Amino acid sequence: MTVKPMKVRLVKTFDFDCAHHLPCFPEGHKCRGMHGHTMRVDVIIEGDMPPSQDYLIDFADMKAAIDPLRQQIDHKLLNEVEGLGIPTVENLAKWLWDRLKPALPMLALLRVYETPTNVCEYWGE
């Protein structure tokens, strides 16, 4: 009898505090001026669990991939983060993706919460 692979999705969540200003918004818009957020990111890995391993990936490996990026953005002015450009939640999601995907090839989705009710989902190109 052939055993069907078990497809699973794992989510590792991290938070960070940051500030930014968004010059892409019109004069007078509240997001154009300097302001801060406590953001949350869900890093979502998806794949077939190897039957010989009984787990998809070690959460510690996910944390090891995330931590250097978190250090670059936690308690920082996002406008000054190299390579980020205008730090909208959309651009931040892509920036994170581009840096996490090489370390986490099974990366399926990033969910970036700018606020508890404003979320960007990004799943690559």
pTM of the complete model: 0.94
> Across the chain, what does the average pLDDT equal?
95
Question: Residue for token digits 């931590």?
Answer: 67
Domains of the chain: 6-122 (3.30.479.10)
Euclidean distance between CA atoms 114 and 38, whole angstroms:
7
Question: Residue for token digits 């500030």?
Answer: 19
pLDDT tens digits along 40-94: 999 999 999 988 888 999 999 999 999 999 999 999 999 999 999 999 999 999 9
CA dihedral 85, 102, 7, 124 (to 10 degrees): 30
Catalytic residues: 31, 75, 114
Which helix (H) or strand (E) is 76 found in, with range? strand 76-77
